[in-house]
Structure 1
């Protein structure tokens, strides 16, 4: 049982060291596989699982305990803002690693995460924890106990709340913050794909959070510079029906469109008529039905957009 300030300090340092070493070893496993021209899918999956089940819950718990105390009791607002921003960057790297299209790309993102995480932990150990230890205003044993409670709640990834904190909602907020930073860095398409992937994983279990990602996806797409749309030259594709969603509320449009797609027989399609570029919807189709749909622009605004959405015939 942790009874003193020093014991709490040492326990946090030990946890940081264990996390850092576990990340380093898992990244090393990926590197070794790729260096030997072997597939690293299982190693990549293991790293992603570890980051999501151990590192991200740790970050969430820190922000609501140690970081909060550092701001409220010690006035370290600027430093904590910087450290919180680094959490967003780390979550963005996890998302990028999850979406890596090749083992070499996975190696790149894994190495970047390991480097950033090691630097981040060092800053916590050297710039934050000693100040918390030395301050008579801070009870580190209490902060550590609260941190452990939140950490365990986050690891369970359930709807259980600790101190009124919705873990899934916090994770989504972290992810969306990270995608905004990714977009600012010029990776808007990657940010949109990651956001759409989050939507696909949330729509069934947490529709309110899925709606939040849809809003963020629209903002990402709308904030990019206008890009020319290539219109399809094919006029032979079969169109079963027209689906004009212009009179529907935005929340209704997506459900109607996906319902229409699910009813399609292979080789058939429908004509979507919208009052804006449905590019966000295309990202969601790519996340939900990868390789199982076709998307052909027939008219590209400015007031009316027409897109043929089809279900291709499976290759024999």
Structure 2
């Protein structure tokens, strides 16, 4: 897949990036909420997780779909190259809304897990078509101002909390910081990683296994949407719950961003410190 979108203006390029970041954030949140349903150990726990997923879907996912129908899809449908695609996307919106309804009515763990998984698979496929086909088409049309069409639409643009190009001075350069600089730049407050009693090197001494929390392997996520996806997944973590993050490098800039957007919300413990992967356990207080 080619991630480069050729836009007709700088403002449209920025609009495409904002929508993609919001998509990544939503996908991360959905994945986390679905994992809670799938990982439940009994019907009562599964139905509580189901209710949380339904609340998010009705409050975020469905309004996002409606906003697309109002702002983006009419512009794309006017292009003869995209008419059939847009009609298929509208049909998928009907499917997504139906899945949310069936999820809300799921009577037990088995049915809730089936509907939740179907919703996740459908949404992921839907986002791929929007990111790879609809957005590039609209951004490349000189007679269409995508930025103007989406102006002020929070349902489509989100709050950019997870935008990969933050103003953190170390952002995007953390792979090249040496071990001494990493220690000096370590986050403070609740985001400061717990030492775990280890030597601080790349060995496994003093490290522990995750406490059965779901794992997000960020190494598989494209760099441009990595932070947005992680923040979305963390938004799905309930109090007392956690997430094990697998990163390709020590994610200190991410932890600083996390502390900035949710001060003191998570405690962080390193489970593994490279060299191939860094595994961190993040637990919401």
Relative to the length of structure 1, the TM-score reads 0.44
